[in-house]
Copies of this chain bind each other. A is one copy, B any other.
Amino acid sequence: MTVKSARPEPLQEVSPIRRTSLSDKIIEQIIDLISRNILQPGERLPSEKDLCKRFGVGRATLREALRSLAVMGILDGRVGEGTFVSHNNQRYLERNLQWGLLLDPKKVEDLLETRLMLETRTAFSAARKATPADLEAMEATIQGMESSVDRPEQYLRFDLEFHLLVAQATQNTILHHLVSMTRGYLQAWIEESLVSPPSGPEDRHRAQSSIREHRAILEALQSGRAEQARQAMKAHILSSSADLHRHLQQTSA
């Protein structure tokens, strides 16, 4: 039988069979229901006991599925009331940026490259599709930045909001999601780099020029000039990335 173990190439076309747990299948089904709008945001799911009977599984198994969806911010369990479909997908983002720090620094570079590509494109596309309401909301976030140059944490939230609005204005849900993701992961690093040095005068200077960059983007979007919007976004992302990069090397050194 030693010969048998010496056979060189067994099967080339084997596909790794995945042992899918029951809760995995439940998760898939619920996500499918949400994506097909059979379960709408804010809607209440049947009780756990009810769902157990429908899915034909025990409560522990069902709960593992529900808890997983809750941790991802897709569902929201409230004691004594029930389990609801999260109405603001914003929570999904919130959850993610909490754990973005898991990625190693090597991948931050990849993220920055990806973000540059994604956001220049969203700026380009948004210039053509943004509605007056979109533009108005962006204006509001810029004013928010201006009024919080000395509160970095709050400033960052307005910054994030602005970029998400641009992505949303493209009306391309996939692009929107991708931007949310990349932004969410990076946000963790950005916030980290903020706490290390107490906000000095140079930070305020940086904030000022950042606001100018955002305003340039907004003006391009308002006038509907796609290529100009792309360039403005590109300039902003590049200077922002350089900033983050500098902070990272500073803290690691």
Stretch binding the partner chain, chosen from A32-40, A139-147, A217-225, A241-249: A32-40
Q: How many copies are assembled?
A: 2
Within A168-205, the residues touching B (CB, 8 Å) are 172-175, 177-178, 180-182, 185
A71 in the interface (beta carbon within 8 A): yes
Complex Cα spacing A16 to B93, Å: 18
With an 8 A cutoff between CB atoms, is A153 at the interface? no
What 10 new A-B contacts, CB under 8 Å, besides A27-B71, A35-B104? A31-B99, A67-B67, A67-B68, A72-B99, A89-B103, A100-B181, A107-B173, A111-B174, A113-B172, A113-B175
Contacting residues, chain B, for A65 (C-beta < 8 A): 67
- Determine which residue in A24, A90, A103, A180 has the highest number of CB atoms from chain B within 10 A of its CB, and name it: A103
Chain B residue numbers with a CB within 8 Å of A67 are 23, 64-65, 67-68
- Cross-chain pairs A/B with CB under 8 angstroms, 29 sampled: A19-B79, A23-B67, A23-B71, A31-B102, A35-B101, A35-B102, A35-B105, A37-B105, A60-B63, A64-B68, A68-B72, A71-B72, A74-B99, A90-B107, A92-B102, A93-B103, A93-B181, A96-B96, A100-B180, A100-B181, A101-B177, A106-B174, A107-B172, A110-B173, A113-B174, A114-B172, A114-B175, A117-B118, A178-B178
